[in-house]
Structure 1
Amino acid sequence: MSPRPRSALSAVLIALSCLLVPVGTLGAWASYGLADTGRYVTAMAPLATDPDVRDAVAETVADGIMREVDVGGPVRGAVRPFVRDAVRSFTRTHAFRLAWDTGNRAAHDAVLRALRDGRAVREQPVTVDLAPVTAQVKRQLTHDHVPLAARIPVAHTAVTVLPAGELGRLRKGFRMLEVAGFWLPVAAVVLAATGILVAVHRRRAVAATALGTALGGALLVLVLTVGRRLTLADLPDDVSPPAAGAVYDALTETLRTASWLLLVCGLTVALTAWLTRYAGHLRAALRPGRRRASATPPPSLAPSPTPAPAPTRARA
């Protein structure tokens, strides 16, 4: 193949590889990060100590308890501060952290079952039971001698985490992500390697691939930033924006780290390829000068020829 078609084919392969880098990274994060229960629980575990998340949980649980307690008038207003303080104190205990991990694991398992097995829960929403948390709060209130604490019903409160109407659309998207999370990164690597091997100037091809990878990482960082703003701007009225922001940051921390790694590694490889190319040109420029200097001695050291004596003619 002549150099011009090889260069064109290499450019096309490298461009396709660079386009697949951000999409493949996003798919791998969704498939191997969000879809893995252990990684999900590990990512959400630090939120149990986040003040904004604890306040949001305390408000939600306290409102649920007060709706279940059959108390009216001024007594209800007097009991509500005790309930809220008790729930907030409970969120600072080790039992709450255990309940937080258990609740997140149960919610994630329920969502995965709904997305992977459509036959069992085709028309049913995905719910999580808050009865264990309510029972813990009731014991705490009873221990603190809060009035009417014994009347709090420990009912199986089902909190919907995934509506039934969205299961079909989300199930199709989840299956596509599982496939894309594996094959898109593999395709990106194969296309990049093929483009570099086909290229006439491989160092330039490596630099172009690295710059495209860095651009893909920068694009992912921008998408995460814009996505966070849009998510927080479209929240319901009963959802705390600081708590939602903390959850968003915890879920996307791995993707954000991968995006910055793509950006930094891509720029580093491109800079290294440029420096090695510049050093090669510099060495090539210096070699002919050295050969000429070694072949021709300096004028001061060259031996000067001595003129031969003119012949003398004898006189007659």
Structure 2
Amino acid sequence: MPSRLRSALSAALIALACLLAPCGALAAWAAYGLADTGVYVTTMAPLSADPNVRDAVADTVGAGIMDEVGDRADVRPMRSAVRPFVQDAVRSFTRTEAFRAAWDAANRVLHDAVLQALRDDREGDVTVDLAPVTAQVKQRLADDHMPLATRIPVEHTAVNVLPAQDLDRLRKGFHVLEVAGFWLPVAAVAFALSGMAIAVRRRRALTATALGTALGGALLGLAVVVGRNLTLADLPEEARRPAAGAVYDALTETLREAAWLLVAIGLGVALTAWLSGRWVHLVRGRRVSPAPVPDPAQPPTRVRA
């Protein structure tokens, strides 16, 4: 194969590998990180201590309890008097070990419900029941001897997580991610090795691959930042943005680490390849010693016959 054709083919394979590297990291994160219930629950667990998340949960649960209280005729006259007690009780509950246990359990139930809906062919909205959390808040109010606490209804309230009309689109995307999460990283490695193998100057090809991988990692990190801004900007309630930002940061922490890892590995390999090239050039220069130059001040030596 001519050298020019080898160089062009090598450059194309290396460019394709550098393009697939960040895409493979993104697909693997979605397929193997977000789709694992244990990993998801472990990732979300620290958020139970985040003040913004606790406030958002307290407002949501408190509003749900007050809506249920408003439906009771015997409690409705004291609605305005009960509201501060309910809010204080809910906020106090979010600082207990019971809330952390309920938080983990709710996230596990939520993730299982979404994952099952994405992998099955069932129809209908994906919902989560908040009755267990309401029951614990009610018990805490009763322990604090709040009037009419025992009359607060604990009903199974279905919170819509995924609407039915979006399930088909999400299922297709999820199946694509499951396939891409495995094959994209494999393809990226295969293209990179092939491009370096057929290259005319393999050290230069290795350097280009490393720098391209580092650039892909930087673009992946930038995409995470842009995605965060777009996600928070789409929220209708500005007060919920700090809590949503905390959740987004927790979910994308592994992805950010993968981006930094690509940058570090790429720059490290590129630097190593450059230093090794300089070292080889220096060693070769020392081996080839120049021929001695005659001194013009000394007369040439005559050879006697």
Same fold by TM-score, threshold 0.5 exceeded? yes
Q: Deviations over 1:111-134 (max 9, x none)?
A: 11111111xx22x10011111101
Report the TM-score, using the length of structure 2 for normalisation: 0.93
Q: Relative to 1, partners in 2 of residues 1:288 and 1:128: Cα closer, same or farther, differing over 3 Å? A: same
1:86 aligns with 2:76: no
Which residue does the alignment assign to 1:110? 113
Unaligned ranges ≥5, structure 1: 309-316
The CA distance in 2 between the partners of 1:3 and 1:161, in whole Å, is 58
Q: Relative to 1, partners in 2 of residues 1:17 and 1:89: Cα closer, same or farther, differing over 3 Å? A: same
Q: Deviations over 1:245-290 (max 9, x none)?
A: 000000000000000110111011111111111222222233323x
Which residue does the alignment assign to 2:243? 243
Q: What displacement does 1:237 show? A: 2.2
Q: Deviations over 1:10-42 (max 9, x none)?
A: 111101111111111110000000011111111
Larger Rg: 1
Which residue does the alignment assign to 1:259? 259
Superposition RMSD on alpha carbons, in Å? 2.1
Give the 3-state SS of the residue equivalent to 1:128 in structure 2.
Answer: strand
Give the 3-state SS of the residue equivalent to 1:292 in structure 2.
Answer: coil
Q: Deviations over 1:60-90 (max 9, x none)?
A: 00000011013335x2122111111111111
The CA distance in 2 between the partners of 1:305 and 1:47, in whole Å, is 90
Report the TM-score, using the length of structure 1 for normalisation: 0.90
Which residue does the alignment assign to 1:65? 65
Q: Relative to 1, partners in 2 of residues 1:10 and 1:59: Cα closer, same or farther, differing over 3 Å? A: same
Q: Relative to 1, partners in 2 of residues 1:152 and 1:298: Cα closer, same or farther, differing over 3 Å? A: farther
Moved over 6 A (4+): 296-300, 302-306
The AA in structure 2 aligned to 1:95 is: A
Map 1:1-316; keep pairs closer than 5 Å. 1-69=1-69, 70=72, 71-73=75-77, 75-118=78-121, 121-122=122-123, 124-237=124-237, 240-289=240-289, 292=291
Which residue does the alignment assign to 1:312? none
Unaligned ranges ≥5, structure 2: none
Which residue does the alignment assign to 1:314? none
Give the 3-state SS of the residue equivalent to 2:127 in structure 1.
Answer: strand
The CA distance in 2 between the partners of 1:58 and 1:109, in whole Å, is 23
Q: Relative to 1, partners in 2 of residues 1:225 and 1:305: Cα closer, same or farther, differing over 3 Å? A: closer
